């Protein structure tokens, strides 16, 4: 398969045109079909990638590791606490060295106001593609899988009512990168996007302005509400998920009074009844069951979370195939 985007960094989908994203989705669909039919996909034979994780992961790590094996290559998992990074080695030196050993570097660094800068510094010095496995601002692998899943379950994304809704959770102070990626990406596909959150959980102004611009340019719409019920009402897709108050409060404390005052922001069966009768429930996972969402919703007939998680494999393989081939 021709690596059409050979050498390109994959840090935010904002740097990829819609035609390029469509190509990645087309390749993802082909790779999914081949995987399900047990057909070989030796598109990255003898290629290697380094997967650097500053944080925990289940889906991202394993979709990349398994995915590269399916493509005939090998992924090396790197816990950054066991690298010389923990003794202060720079992003530049790490990128130069690792890129001389292989064909791709992927990294998750979600530290607020650090993660994206870290990836950008690696990209400035790496001779191989840098793939963002989630930073403080973006989660493009997740965004691509979300879009693939939405396209699989709907006839058209035009004027699809998609509500991205803050939800209560106390597992950890989560990055804003999933909702931020979604509000930028979905309006490009002409969806009518509602962002709902309680006061104090704002996303950055520049991202809101860009989401509006993307909606204007592509025939979608974008609005914000602080009313959870309004966001559920008549929605075709709901994505209730927690994110941290990073924009307003940089403390790393997980539980505070503000968070505790919004326990009622939960995706319940009652809320789901306000949405379209055929509404789909999505979540990037891991979900904080019982807090963000009731079990009966995430395990119920409207939920497509496992399809969404499975598509992480196929989209990760597409990104690697299109960017890492033929060094
Ligand atoms: N959705 C997602 O990125 O999952 P992990 O944190 O398990 O990789």
Per-residue 3-state assignment (H helix, E strand, C coil) for the chain? CCCCCCCCCECCHHHCCHHHHHHHHHHHHHHHHHHHCCCCCCCCCCCEEEEEECCCCCHHHHHHHHHHHHCCCEEEEEEHHHCHHHHCCCHHHHHHHHHHHCCEEEEEECCCCCHHHHHHHHHHHCCCCEEEEEECCCCHHHHHHHHHHHHHHCCCCCCCEEEEEECCCCCCCCCCHHHHHHHHHHHHHCCEEEEECCCCCCCCHHHHHHHHHHHHHHCCEEEEECCHHHHHCCCCEEEEECCCCCCCCCCCCCCCHHHHCCCCCCECHHHHCCCCCCCEECCCCCCCECCCECHHHHCCCCECHHHHHHHHHHHHHHHHHHHHCCC
Same domain? For 107 and 233 the reply is no
Same domain? For 153 and 297 the reply is yes
Best mutation site among 241, 286, 288 for ligand 1, i.e. most ligand atoms within 8 A of its Cβ? 286
208 Cα: distance to centroid of ligand 1 (angstroms): 24
Residue 205 inside a domain? The answer is: yes
Using a 6 Å CB cutoff, which residues line ligand 1? Answer: 57-60, 134, 142, 284-286
286 Cα: distance to centroid of ligand 1 (angstroms): 7
Same domain? For 162 and 266 the reply is yes
Same domain? For 287 and 234 the reply is yes
- Nearest-CA residue for ligand 1 atom 7 is 58
Per-chain mean pLDDT for the chain: 97
Query: What digits encode the pLDDT tens for the residues 167-217?
Result: 999 999 999 999 999 999 999 999 999 999 999 999 999 999 999 999 999
Same domain? For 299 and 184 the reply is yes
Minimum-distance ligand 1 atom for the alpha carbon of 108 = 8
Asked whether the beta carbons of 11 and 132 are under 8 A apart, the reply is yes
Minimum-distance ligand 1 atom for the alpha carbon of 309 = 1
Query: What digits encode the pLDDT tens for the residues 151-179?
Result: 999 999 999 999 999 999 999 999 999 99
Residue 21 inside a domain? The answer is: yes
219 Cα: distance to centroid of ligand 1 (angstroms): 31
Lowest mean pLDDT among 235-239, 298-302, 323-327: 323-327
Same domain? For 299 and 317 the reply is no
Residue 6 inside a domain? The answer is: no
Residue 8 inside a domain? The answer is: no
- Nearest-CA residue for ligand 1 atom 3 is 60
Residue 260 inside a domain? The answer is: yes
Residue 81 inside a domain? The answer is: yes
Best mutation site among 58, 64, 181, 316 for ligand 1, i.e. most ligand atoms within 8 A of its Cβ? 58
Question: Looking at the predicted structure, is the pLDDT value of residue 327 above 60?
Answer: no
Question: Looking at the predicted structure, is the pLDDT value of residue 6 above 90?
Answer: yes
Which residue matches tokens 């950008």?
Answer: 120
For residue 77, the model assigns a pLDDT of: 98
188 Cα: distance to centroid of ligand 1 (angstroms): 24
Same domain? For 116 and 245 the reply is no
Best mutation site among 145, 284, 311 for ligand 1, i.e. most ligand atoms within 8 A of its Cβ? 284
142 Cα: distance to centroid of ligand 1 (angstroms): 8
63 Cα: distance to centroid of ligand 1 (angstroms): 10
Query: What digits encode the pLDDT tens for the residues 113-151?
Result: 999 999 999 999 999 999 999 999 999 999 999 999 999
Same domain? For 82 and 220 the reply is no
Structurally, the chain folds into a number of domains equal to 2
Same domain? For 18 and 132 the reply is yes
Residue 5 inside a domain? The answer is: no
Same domain? For 132 and 148 the reply is no
CATH code for position 110: 3.40.50.1370
Minimum-distance ligand 1 atom for the alpha carbon of 63 = 8
CB atoms within 10 A of CB 153: 14
Asked whether the beta carbons of 327 and 48 are under 8 A apart, the reply is no
Query: What digits encode the pLDDT tens for the residues 38-73?
Result: 999 999 999 999 999 999 999 999 999 999 999 999
310 Cα: distance to centroid of ligand 1 (angstroms): 11
Same domain? For 102 and 176 the reply is no
For residue 325, the model assigns a pLDDT of: 82
Question: Looking at the predicted structure, is the pLDDT value of residue 320 above 60?
Answer: yes
Percent of the chain exceeding pLDDT 70 equals 99
Minimum-distance ligand 1 atom for the alpha carbon of 55 = 6
Same domain? For 117 and 171 the reply is no
322 Cα: distance to centroid of ligand 1 (angstroms): 22
217 Cα: distance to centroid of ligand 1 (angstroms): 30
218 Cα: distance to centroid of ligand 1 (angstroms): 29
Q: Which structural domain range is residue 291 located in? A: 140-308
Residue 2 inside a domain? The answer is: no
Minimum-distance ligand 1 atom for the alpha carbon of 133 = 3
């Amino acid at each position: 398969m021709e690596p059409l985007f050979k050498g390109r960094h994959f840090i935010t989908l904002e740097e990829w045109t819609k035609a390029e994203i469509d190509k990645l989705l087309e390749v993802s669909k082909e790779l999914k079909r081949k995987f399900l039919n047990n057909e070989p996909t030796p598109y990255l034979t003898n290629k290697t990638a380094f997967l650097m994780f500053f944080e925990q992961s289940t889906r991202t790590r394993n979709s990349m590791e398994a995915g590269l094996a399916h493509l005939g290559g090998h992924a090396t998992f790197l816990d950054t606490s066991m690298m010389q990074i923990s003794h202060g080695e720079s992003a530049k030196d790490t990128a130069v060295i690792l890129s001389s050993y292989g064909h791709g570097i992927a990294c998750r660094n979600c530290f607020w106001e650090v993660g994206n800068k870290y990836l950008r510094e690696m990209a400035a010095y790496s001779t191989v593609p840098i793939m963002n496995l989630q930073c403080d601002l973006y989660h493009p692998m997740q965004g691509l899988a979300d879009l693939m899943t939405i396209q699989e379950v709907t006839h058209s994304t035009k004027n699809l009512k998609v509500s991205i809704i803050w939800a209560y959770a106390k597992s950890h102070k989560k990055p804003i990168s999933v909702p931020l990626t979604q509000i930028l990406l979905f309006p490009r596909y002409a969806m009518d996007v509602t962002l709902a959150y309680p006061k104090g959980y704002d996303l950055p102004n520049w991202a809101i302005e860009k989401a509006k611009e993307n909606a204007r340019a592509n025939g979608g719409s974008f609005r914000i509400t602080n009313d959870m019920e309004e966001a559920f009402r008549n929605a075709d897709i709901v994505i209730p998920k927690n994110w941290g108050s990073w924009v307003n409060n940089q403390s790393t404390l997980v539980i505070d009074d503000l968070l505790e005052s919004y326990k009622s922001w939960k995706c319940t069966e009652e809320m789901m009844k306000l949405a379209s009768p055929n509404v789909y429930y999505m979540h990037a996972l891991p979900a904080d069951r019982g807090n963000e969402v009731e079990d009966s919703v995430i395990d119920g007939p409207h939920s497509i979370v496992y399809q969404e998680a499975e598509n992480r494999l196929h989209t990760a393989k597409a990104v690697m195939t299109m960017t890492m081939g033929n060094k």
